[in-house]
Chain A
Amino acid sequence: MSHAVPTPAGTPAQPGTGEGPVLSVSALRKAYNVGKPSERLAISDVSFDVAKGEFVCVVGPSGAGKTTLLRCLSGLLHPTTGEVRFEGTPLQAVPDRLSVVFQDYSRSLFPWLTVSKNVAVPLKVAGVAKEQREARISEVLHAVGLGDVGKSYPWQLSGGMQQRVAIARALAHQPDMLLMDEPFASVDAQTRFDLEDLILQVRAQFGITVVLVTHDIDEAVYLADRVVVLSSPPSVVEEIVTVPLARPRDQLVTRSSETFGQLRRHLMELVTAHH
């Protein structure tokens, strides 16, 4: 384990203490096909806050509208009613200081651009000059544990490496918050552990706030300061579980601790309970 840096949110900061929450979700409701016979309520009523530097995971049974929620949080989708505030401002579109990492890296990374050029896209949008751009690209590629792959095309790399490139691209323009939608669901178990530790390390290094949606309860407990548990659709917040596990976390030590087991069991009961 190389990330011995204490995290800014070693103890979960509560909203209202000091500066306001980075992300604030209040009474969010999302229905599809409103006014048509096929109208379907995906999210009924979801509210929670994410403090600066915090790592929040969102879990729920399959079909619980996790991806819908994440799309609303990122500004890609407008909620039917309710409000999402990012750094105090209600979301209209995707804000500048927010980055999203998708599950499907093979489609999210542009296959027609090399790794370097993929990472350069948000820097060009932000208007960063060429020399600084190149320095920043090698910096973030290094931060995600990738060496000399800048000239390769994403599809020439392994799945784990591709998701690392996607994370590097998301970090390139120094966002305040990272939204991740099942980011490790398409890689094998060993790579998954590596990427989990990578994201913890990157989060500590850059002091970034992370909201990660996952269907994997173990992963949520391992990564999070707090876990938001959604019910089956139409979704409400079942419970927000605080994870008091020490940091830095370790795949072997943390996962075999008694607290981990208890949290895991509690969350499992919440997610599998029928309502």
Chain B
Amino acid sequence: MNAVDTGWFRTLARLGVIAAVLAGWQLLSVAGVLDSSSFPSMTATMAELGRQLTDSDLWLAVWETVRGWGLGLLIGCSLAITIGTLLGLNRFAYLSVIPVIEFLKTVPVIAILPLAIVVWGATLEMKVFLVAFGVFWPLAIQTIYGVRAVDPVVRDTAAVLRLRGFRKFTTVTLPSAAPFIATGLRVAAAVGLILTIIAELVGGARGLGLSILTSVNAGPDRLPATYAFILLTGVTGVLVTTAFVALEQRLLHWHESQRNLAAKAA
């Protein structure tokens, strides 16, 4: 096997790139290209990050963010998949409702943030609502199209095998829609995290977003902390995406898009 293709080599290469970026950052700070009053050095940021990681306040903030995000995602995605499936199965319902959904999808979630703040204040409920609302529309549309996208040969096969009702739904409809739903979920997870941070940053609910805001308001001394929090939200995003990609690979191992990956992993 080619050395470039081995897992070890790839991991090393990725770590190398990260190290180079961090070194470049430090170099630019030391050389004075980055103004230290608005952009702290890499070492100062990392030192602050290290300090924060031992602080229980930080972990509380992380927990608040993850909780709001997770609950919002759970509610929004459950509703989207259930309602999307029902609409996708019924042609009349689909044709009646789809223009409304397509319209509501285009409403920026930020536009309803003030409304949510008025109704719930800076609370977990506000955050959960915002995330659920934001992930619902795109995932519902994705589910509707997935349920309707059953291959004509698969549909004929289901008919000649006399698959009907719930058995047809679980044997044919759901697996056919699964790749669409999986893509929708992966996007929803990422969008949901962004909305969580926004709800905290703008709406003032507790979590990493609020920590960023508070550290900015505390003045230039606290700048390394701001950057540490921003880095941490980035890492959270990467972890969330990785988890969903892994889940997708596992559940859709039979799908054309995943078959080669499975063969490589074996």
Contact = CB atoms under 8 A, between A and B. Distances in A.
Interface of A: 71, 74, 76, 93-94, 96, 98-100, 102, 104, 107-108, 110-113, 121-122, 124-125, 153, 155, 169
B255 interface: yes
A60 to B, nearest CB: 21
B160 A125 contact: no
B116 to A, nearest CB: 39
Given A94-B159, A122-B162, 10 more contacts: A76-B159, A76-B160, A93-B159, A100-B157, A102-B157, A107-B157, A111-B256, A112-B175, A121-B163, A153-B254
Contacts of B175: 110, 112
A90 B159 CA distance: 17
A96 B254 contact: no
Interface string B167-182: 1000110010010000
Contacts of B172: 110
Given A76-B156, A107-B153, A124-B167, A112 B161 contact: no
A121 B254 contact: no
A43 B151 CA distance: 26
Contacts of A121: 161, 163, 171
A29 B169 CA distance: 33
Nearest to B154: A107
A125 B167 contact: yes
Given A94-B162, A96-B162, A125-B167, A108 B254 contact: no
B51 interface: no
Contacts of A110: 154, 157, 171-172, 175
Interface residues on B, range: 10 to 19
B10 interface: no
Nearest to A121: B161
Interface of B: 151, 153-154, 156-157, 159-163, 167, 171-172, 175, 178, 254-256, 259
B29 to A, nearest CB: 52
Contacts of A96: 162
A155 to B, nearest CB: 7
B196 to A, nearest CB: 33
B162 A108 contact: no
12 contacts: A76-B159, A94-B159, A102-B157, A107-B151, A107-B153, A107-B154, A108-B154, A110-B157, A110-B172, A113-B171, A125-B163, A155-B259
A111 B159 contact: no
Contacts of B178: 112
B161 A111 contact: no
A96 B254 CA distance: 29
Given A107-B151, A155-B254, A125 B156 contact: no
A104 B159 CA distance: 16
Contact of A122 (B151, B161, B254): B161
9 pairs of A and B residues whose beta carbons are closest in the complex? A107-B153, A100-B160, A112-B175, A112-B254, A108-B157, A111-B254, A94-B160, A125-B162, A122-B161
A47 B162 CA distance: 26
Nearest to A166: B157
Nearest to A126: B162
A111 B160 contact: no
Contacts of B161: 121-122, 125, 169
B160 A74 contact: yes
A70 to B, nearest CB: 11
A108 B163 contact: no
Contact of B255 (A107, A111, A169): A111
A125 B165 CA distance: 11
Nearest to A117: B171
A104 to B, nearest CB: 5
B114 to A, nearest CB: 45
A74 B159 CA distance: 10
A202 B175 CA distance: 32
B154 to A, nearest CB: 6
Contacts of B259: 155
A133 to B, nearest CB: 14
Contacts of B255: 111-112
Contacts of A112: 175, 178, 254-255
